[in-house]
Amino acid sequence: MCVPRRRPETLDPVTVPLHDSALLKAARGEKVPHTPVWFMRQAGRSLPEYLKVREGIAMLDSCMNAELITEITLQPVRRYGVDAAIFFSDIVLPLKAVGVDLDIVPGVGPVVASPVRTLADVEAIADLTPEQVPYITRAVRDLVGELASVNGGTPLIGFAGAPFTVASYLVEGGPSKEHAKTKALMFGAPDVWDALMRKVADVSAVFLETQVAAGASAVQLFDSWAGALTPADYVRFVQPHSARVLERVGALGVPRIHFGVGTTNLLDLMGEAGADVVGVDWRTPLDRAIPLVGDRSVQGNLDPTLVFAPTEVMTERAAAVIEAGRAARGHIFNLGHGVIPSTDPDQLARLTEFVQSYPLD
């Protein structure tokens, strides 16, 4: 029987270079000691310690406090012993940093006071510079120092929203299921759309570059709403801008994960945008996704609701995901979307141990 990795608090400090961590090896398509695992939204509402430190603090305020960012990012690493930390932030945080009037309304999501409609609206959005987000640089540096001795060195994944998703919030003024206003602008005013996408691509690129410069070992570009697009529209209106972000970050030499929700028909195109690892949501079996992404690693993709099933059912399905992942250049285990807030943390701990203990030979 394979022995699970020890929890971080029982580990003796060791000095294994991050370059040799399971996550970065899988991202590069190299042989791994075990299937690396982390969870989207692992730092968040499913953890009682998160709820405690966030009590009375608004979401965006917590994302602009280096001490809170550091503590929240570390919480799931301490609890689960996952193979990566994901930087705690929010998709719209860079917009807030450049002066866009927005807030995250509980129960609603990001709400923008003055949605973008014209070129003048786009031009009013300032460019992002690292000096505007000193709390990001400080938090990343603090995290890298803390993570260096956890499990022999745990990588930090930087995080940013992809241009289409960020632009959709700016145009819609908030969350939308149909993205009607976004598509109306995209189809009806392509010059405004292109200017907006260039603007938000540059903002996302700087946000990721700042994290990498401070020590992040990989990045994830998260496109929540790209699944609303046809392949042709994605290629024409979105892919060049996501590629712009991924190219700039790729120049820094870190692996790039690109994930979208409901993107079965876009997986090949999202990979071609410049991803080293293509995230796959739970709707698409890995054996279908892997041929689409080509010579790239994959990330995913257990249905997040399976953590509510009996443990033996959850682990049986997790084993099937791991087995399917063998056909890829490399495989990083994750859920097929974020951790659901009502998830039992103990069940995620069992899942982590199962994945890390699963025999690959």
Question: Known catalytic residues?
Answer: 41, 45, 54, 90, 169
Q: Are strands 156-161 and 85-86 parallel, antiparallel or unpaired?
A: parallel
- Give the C-alpha separation, 276 to 296, whole Å: 6
326 neighbors 27 (Cβ within 8 angstroms): no
Question: Could you tell me if residue 50 is left (phi over 0), alpha (psi between -120 and 50 degrees) or otherwise beta?
Answer: alpha
CA atoms within 13 A on the CB side of 331: 26
- DSSP-derived letter for residue 333 is B
Closest CA to 246 of 281, 204, 213: 204
Cα–Cα distance list, 23 to 153, 322, 331 (Å): 11, 14, 9
18: which residues sit within 8 A by CB, 6+ positions away? 24, 148, 153, 154, 155, 217
